[in-house]
Amino acid sequence: NAGVMQNPRHLVRRRGQEARLRCSPMKGHSHVYWYRQLPEEGLKFMVYLQKENIIDESGMPKERFSAEFPKEGPSILRIQQVVRGDSAAYFCASPPQGARTEAFFGQGTRLTVV
Amino acid sequence: GQQLNQSPQSMFIQEGEDVSMNCTSSSIFNTWLWYKQEPGEGPVLLIALYKAGELTSNGRLTAQFGITRKDSFLNISASIPSDVGIYFCAGREGSQGNLIFGKGTKLSVKP
């Protein structure tokens, strides 16, 4: 997983605050996937981004969640007005150029809403 | 929507034993992947399968893409303590698009 950097590793927010999660894909990779993992569950797809473009956001909740991947800088997953149910591990994945799999996942950000 | 059933949910085995776990889907997949996740870490890809009937090995791990394209299994031979973790299957329907993950099989190995 070396090369896909996520920060912070742990994030604690009070209900109603905003959470910003960052993902820097492997060098030269221009696509990222975001997944959410609830406790004792598998990963659930949220959004697929290319630089400056959202390719598929079918897994994103309709409200409070947004994602971007600017031309410069990391991809950001933003959760506004967090609620307890947002507590989860959020992973991003960086597919190698030309590959068909999200082979490389970051270490994740564990969000706890108190 | 698509669903993946992964079983067993957990396994407690003795070091040296072989392990088998499987996933079945409600729809046909073109890709099956197996990942391992350790506490506090992201999933690590173990084996990728792209063709029905494909059987692929990675060291002591062997996985197969079912002929019906609706199932896959993962075998681990001669388990060792460092095999402990949660194993996830994941599948994709088309050539593009997101992965659907199973709920995982938690493996515990007793030395």
Cβ separation of B6 and A41 shorter than 8 Å?
no
Residue A23 to chain B, least CA–CA distance (Å): 13
* Phi and psi at residue B41, to the nearest 5°: -120, 170
Distance CA B39, CA B106 (A): 11
Residue B57 to chain A, least CA–CA distance (Å): 17
Say yes or no for a CB contact (<8 Å) between B95 and A100: yes
Give the list of residues 6+ apart from residue A107 with CB closer than 8 angstroms, or none: A1, A6, A9, B40, B41, B42
Give per-residue pLDDT as tens, A20-67. 999 999 887 888 999 999 988 889 999 999 999 999 999 999 999 999
Per the structure block, which two tokens stand in for A27?
Answer: 């060098």
The torsion region of residue B59 among left (phi > 0), alpha (psi -120 to 50) and beta comes to left
pLDDT tens digits for A56-113?
Answer: 999 999 999 999 999 999 999 999 999 999 999 999 998 776 565 667 899 999 999 9
Which of B92, B98, B103 shows the shortest C-beta gap to A41?
B103
Those residues whose C-beta lies under 8 Å from the C-beta of residue A19, and which sit 6 or more positions away, are: A11, A13, A78, A79, A82, A86, A111, A113
Residues in chain A with CB shorter than 8 Å from the CB of B33 are 101
